[in-house]
Amino acid sequence: MVDPLLALIAGAMGASPAQVEWLFTSYIGVMSLAMLLSGVMATRIGGRKTLLLGLGTVVVFAAASGAAPDLTVLSLVRGGWGLGNALFTTTALSIIVGATTGPFSAAITLYEAALGLGIASGPLLGGFLGHFQWRLPFFGTAALMFIAFWWTFFTVHETRREPPRGARHIFEALRHRMVLRHALIGLSYSYAFFTILAYSPLTLKGLTTLALGYTYFGWGILVAFASVYVVNRLRPVLGPLPLLSLDLAGLVVLFALAGLIQGPGLLVLIVISGFFCGIANAVFTSLAMEVSPFIRSISSGAYNFLRWAGAALAPVLSGVVGESFGLNVPFWLAGAVLATGLVVLVRSRALYDVALDPSGRAPEKA
């Protein structure tokens, strides 16, 4: 919901592109660090309570964002929002995977379907509300999360409690060669993903908040479609690693083109990138669970901690690079970062094959 508002907020508060990008960097940076906490809390107080705590935190800080008097305060309270989102995101995935009686892939598909629909509808609603006043989407988010809090309270039940774990178990998981390698490759992709999501609205000059909402609505629809429908069709045929490698290669080409094109052509490329992002989101998430020998909450916490660290760098660094070298140059930087991750992925094929059993499922978790 915040995505279409960046230029509007920058204008209202007299901020530069790099300054307004702190709204995302503070949010994602706190979210990354909080992943160390979220995976641990779920094993100690239960997934349901952690989920509710995360939703309640988002309600408070989203409302505070709408009332923020300046950009500094807004960036700080966005950090609190990131804390709530960390508690929610990791725990939601863990609960969905824990509740399923089928393979991981079915649970991941359900998770990605909901995520994709939210990614699609959020910018559209944010653009509509922002058309009237830039603060309204923040209050709109608080209202939606308030509804989600009570919906969760009455409908979500605690899954089987995992053995209590501490923060050290997250770092122990990251010492596992495949967990670390997959998380680092995910970091390169997350950098590219948030260059699109958090920075690209600033490159679409002349569009109203409503027009930006429609743009990222189209992008989100492709994210949802690819993560649910396309992945389920192509993964059994190609296998997860060839599918992910081809997908990231396509995304690298798209970033190279985005660095050259402006105007309507750039808008089209941004929308099309949703197709590649949807595939990558689903495959990265499922592999994070499948290659890890640790319990769900620790596997999810370790992967998300490292990959969100990459995401936190993307907005503000893109803003600085864009100001210094040209608005389109951050797309080339994102493409280079992603290409590095792709090379590591291809060179790690044998390690992935060892981590996955012949059927494509992970061994029993330790």
- Are the beta carbons of 288 and 360 closer than 8 angstroms? no
Residue 361 has pLDDT above 60, yes or no: no
Specify the pLDDT at position 271.
94
Specify the pLDDT at position 334.
96
SS3 category, 291: coil
Q: Which of 294, 282, 286 is nearest to 363 (CA)?
A: 294
Average pLDDT over every residue of 153-178: 75
* pLDDT averaged over every residue in the chain: 85
Longest CA pairwise span in the chain (Å): 56
| Cα(109)–Cα(113) distance, integer angstroms | 6
Side chain identity at 187, as an amino acid letter?
A: L
42-56, 72-86, 289-303: least confidently modelled range:
289-303
- Are the beta carbons of 271 and 219 closer than 8 angstroms? yes
- Are the beta carbons of 123 and 1 closer than 8 angstroms? yes
Who has greater pLDDT, 263 or 310? 263
Specify the pLDDT at position 358.
43
Q: For the segment 13-50, what is each residue's pLDDT rounded down to a tens digit?
A: 887 877 888 888 888 888 888 877 776 777 778 788 88
Backbone angles phi, psi at 157, to 5 degrees: -110, 155
Specify the pLDDT at position 286.
83
Which pLDDT band holds residue 57 (cuts at 50, 70, 90)?
very high
What is the phi-psi region of residue 199: left when phi exceeds 0, alpha when psi lies from -120 to 50, beta otherwise?
alpha
Q: For the segment 346-357, what is each residue's pLDDT rounded down to a tens digit?
A: 998 888 887 776
Residue 138 has which token pair?
A: 């923040």
Side chain identity at 251, as an amino acid letter?
A: L
- Are the beta carbons of 235 and 243 closer than 8 angstroms? yes
111, containing H or E segment: helix 104-130
Alpha-carbon torsion (129, 134, 136, 142), positive or negative: positive
Q: What is the DSSP string of 297-363?
A: HHHHHHHHHHHHHHHHHHHHHHHHHHHHH-TTHHHHHHHHHHHHHHHHHHHTHHHHHHHS-TTSPPP
Which pLDDT band holds residue 104 (cuts at 50, 70, 90)?
low
Q: What is the DSSP string of 181-209?
A: HHHHHHHHHHHHHHIIIIIGGGGSTT--H
Q: For the segment 111-165, what is each residue's pLDDT rounded down to a tens digit?
A: 777 887 888 888 888 888 888 888 999 999 999 999 999 999 998 887 666 666 6
Q: Dump strand ranges (E) for 105-190.
A: none
Residue carrying the six token digits 């059994």 = 236
| Cα(345)–Cα(292) distance, integer angstroms | 16
3-355 under CATH 1.20.1250.20, yes or no: yes
Q: Which of 250, 116, 121 is nearest to 189 (CA)?
A: 250
| Cα(83)–Cα(328) distance, integer angstroms | 31
- Are the beta carbons of 86 and 34 closer than 8 angstroms? yes
Backbone angles phi, psi at 164, to 5 degrees: -60, 140
| Continuous H helices in 1-70 | 6-13, 17-20, 22-45, 47-66
Average pLDDT over every residue of 226-255: 93
Residue 284 has pLDDT above 60, yes or no: yes
Alpha-carbon torsion (273, 278, 284, 288), positive or negative: positive
